[in-house]
Structure 1
């Protein structure tokens, strides 16, 4: 028995549990057809589906495609570069006579 009182295959709980897969087109065509048929025939599930679909559209509209400002991206890129160089014990200095790179290395040998 389903949540609306009618017998469905799949039942309402199963359909509502998979509604995000349906919305994201992440189920196979056979399952998608079965879920779509249930949603067309079942008013309570269709109402629930409508709410889910609107929420997803709102989230995509408000949160989708946002990009960090170019200044923030540049600062993050520079901080990551510095952290990587520091971790690798590499010093880079730029001056009027050019750029100097110093690499400190330590060799570790293992014997079996």
Structure 2
């Protein structure tokens, strides 16, 4: 999307990152650029307003629910399996680390390209 006016930051870039802006997940420099664009561009500001309202609605309606531990465990197992399935015969090592809230899977390989049909 483009409003037709020239901006330092393109409209499509701003709209692609508006959720990062809403969630305060971008650095201060990027946040300032996005804020400046929103101040100058009414079409993007309108879209930002819609996204902000949608985010608040989602937080209100879905904010307190968490996935059951069993579902989380099954998803982690499926993800581990998918990572291992994509590894080739030249895998040097596979490391799985979990701290209870996050799991990291690292696959070291000299060849990582696998194509499935």
* Shorter-chain TM-score tier: 0.5 to 0.7
TM-score (norm 1): 0.57
Alignment-derived partner of residue 19 in structure 1 = 18
What's 1:82 paired with?
Answer: none
| Matching residue of 1:65 | 64
Count residues with an aligned counterpart: 70
Q: Where does structure 2 lack aligned partners over 5 or more consecutive residues?
A: 71-117
Q: 1:66: how far off?
A: 3.3
Give 1:48 shift: 0.4
Bigger radius of gyration among the two: 1
Q: Mark the runs of 5 or more structure 1 residues left unpaired by the alignment.
A: 78-112
Taking the aligned partners of 1:47 and 1:67, their CA distance within structure 2 comes to 31
**Where do 4+ consecutive residues of structure 1 move more than 2 Å?**
none
Equivalent-residue separation in structure 1 for 2:44 and 2:30 (angstroms): 16
